Structure 1
């Protein structure tokens, strides 16, 4: 199988680099300065064992590839807000032997949240969800790092909306050869919703920096408890805390790399890079949406969503809001929140 990594940033670049290291054929899809650096110098991947450079084909879109191969795997690793544009670009690309990518090729969603899988299923027949547990950083154009050891990450994988198949198992085997653990599960959405609850704190990290005191941890607990209440009201199952600990304990430990301490996760990196967009609509915003659909108040997640979008739009510095200010705004939001509306029947 050839892996076409659509969005070769922190997650996509790490997965692509590790697959290349394991001898798999990889094509990287990127844009702008990152694409130029990949084309000129190759992908530089920094991991605990050291830095390696991989000279891989790098393209901006499908045109240079011509017809896709019947054995290609499309790995979608763009931020959720860029999913529709990526699907528009790749869905109708012809595949050797007839048909299009949307009709014939597997699409693997290496993304946070749950919305990308739903968007993909509107266009692609074979969609695979992944619960991405992969600490990685876009360091600079052409350079990504992943500090996890002994495994680089854990990637629960399964068909969407549910099920498994031989393609999932083949992809998982390739990932296992590339320093990942990739359990194939029939209920990958359970793991994605569990990760969603964790990711409700990424907006806090983007706004205030890593949680470092009791007030920060208390606010994060409140935001996740609100998310838990919304999922319960919606009847959405997710992997529990003990199940997650058993799946991950001791497998991905962060090791300091040469570029210094990791600044933060994907939302923090979006603000730090000044991209102008952030994933909050599909993380905290997912809880806000479900809360409105099922009659549960979610003022804290609404607040985090609104502030993260404002920071991204105004290109404000990552971590520049004092924790005390966010706590004050959170208390005000809870106090002012209207009673929950009746759920839609």
Structure 2
């Protein structure tokens, strides 16, 4: 199989680089400065083992890729960018007839729970991927993945449920690439659990803090709303004990240069000044479910709106204090 990484940022770059190191055929897809850096200088992936430069085929969109019947599309763009990517790639013809949407498997390696449902409108064969892969991309062409001994743990399964030979073959390839890839019949249980943990992203992005008592308290309030709306909606998420049993000592933060762990995906979006952020599909998912089921979600609504304001106005990541953010939440509540 050949892996087409649609969105070579932190997660896409780490997956693509690790697959290339394991001997898999990989095509990297990116835009703008990232595309130019990958094309001209290659993907520089730094892990605890050191920095390697991978000079791989690079494309700036589906028109530059000749798709074959054995290709696998890995969607690793931010969820707010998914519709445009799905529309473009689903219509792309595949050698031998048909389109990518009709013939090729698509793996949604993203935060949130919206992309799989969106993808299923356009792709016949959709797979969920619960991404636990701490990585950083703040400079074009460079991706840092500091965890060891595994780079990441990526639960895989068919959407909406089930498993098949395709996902088992993908998992086998990924397991050879320093990536744990458990195949599960209920991948969305894992993704909803990850959604709850990602409710902290907006706090970290706007305040730059996650490990203070005030930040913990705010996150607890956001997560309480999340648990309440999932219960009201009849949605099950994996529990912390089940998650820890899988992770065990197989993945830990292992800084290779003495540095502290970098910010998460939302913090990175603000740091790069992209103008967008994924809050509508993280905290906003809780707000949506709350409105559908009559549950008040003022904490997540404030976090969503504040993160969007930061992105829209290109405010600096971490330029608000936890106390200021908490005051906004308290006023709303």
Work out the CA distance in 2 between the residues paired with 1:86 and 1:15: 18
Gaps of 5+ in 1: 335-345
Work out the CA distance in 1 between the residues paired with 2:226 and 2:321: 23
Work out the CA distance in 2 between the residues paired with 1:212 and 1:152: 23
1:343 is aligned to none
Matches within 5 A, 1:164-203: 164-203=163-202
Q: Is 1:118 matched with 2:120? A: no
What is the deviation of 1:261?
A: 2.6
Contact 1:139 1:145 in 2 (8 A): no
Deviation string, structure 1 residues 190-238 (Cα, Å, up to 9, x no partner): 0000000000000000011132321211111111011101101111001
Work out the CA distance in 2 between the residues paired with 1:296 and 1:43: 45
SS at match of 1:297: coil
Work out the CA distance in 1 between the residues paired with 2:80 and 2:47: 28
Contact 2:138 2:271 in 1 (8 A): no
SS at match of 1:124: coil
2:225 is aligned to 226
1:40 is aligned to 40
Normalised TM-score (structure 2): 0.98
Matches within 5 A, 1:48-59: 48-59=48-59
Work out the CA distance in 1 between the residues paired with 2:292 and 2:274: 31
2:91 is aligned to 92
SS at match of 2:52: strand
Contact 1:175 1:182 in 2 (8 A): yes
Q: Is 1:12 matched with 2:22? A: no
Work out the CA distance in 2 between the residues paired with 1:46 and 1:302: 36
Matches within 5 A, 1:1-345: 1-66=1-66, 68-258=67-257, 260-334=259-333
Normalised TM-score (structure 1): 0.95
Work out the CA distance in 2 between the residues paired with 1:294 and 1:282: 17
Work out the CA distance in 2 between the residues paired with 1:205 and 1:139: 16
Work out the CA distance in 2 between the residues paired with 1:271 and 1:256: 23
Counting matched residue pairs gives 333
RMSD of the alignment, in Å? 1.0
What is the deviation of 1:249?
A: 2.4
Deviation string, structure 1 residues 56-81 (Cα, Å, up to 9, x no partner): 00010122223x11000000000000
